[in-house]
Amino acid sequence: MEIILLKQICTMFLLIGAGVLLVKKGLLSEQGGKDLGNILLRLVIPCVIIKTYITEYSPERAVNLAASMGLTVAALAVAMGVSYLFFGTRKRIENFGAAFCNVGFIGIPLVQAVLGEGAVFYLASFIALLNILQWTYGVLIMTGDRETVRLKIIFTNPVILSFLAGILLFFLQIPVPQVITNTVSSIGSMNTPLAMIILGTYLAKMSWKEMFAAKSAYLCTVVRLIVVPLATLLVLCLFPGVKLEIRQVILIGCSTPVGANIAIFARQYDKDYKLSVATVCLSTVLCIITVPLFYMLVERVLGV
Per-residue pLDDT at 176 exceeds 70: yes
Q: Which class is domain 2-293?
A: mainly alpha
* Average pLDDT for the chain: 86
Per-residue pLDDT at 147 exceeds 80: no
Nearest to 219 by CA among 180, 258, 185: 258
Residues 254/232, Cβ–Cβ less than 8 Å: yes
Residues 48-97 pLDDT 10s: 889 888 888 889 989 999 999 999 999 999 999 999 999 988 899 999 99
Give the pLDDT score at 1. 56
Q: What radius of gyration, in Å, describes the C-alpha atoms of the chain?
A: 18
pTM: 0.84
Phi first, then psi: give them for residue 186, nearest 5 degrees: -65, -45
CA gap 155, 131 in Å, rounded: 11
Give the pLDDT score at 128. 85
Domain ranges of the chain: 2-293
Residues 289-304 pLDDT 10s: 898 899 889 888 887 6
Give the pLDDT score at 99. 95
pLDDT band at 22; cut points 50, 70, 90: very high
Mean pLDDT, residues 114-138: 86
Give the pLDDT score at 5. 67
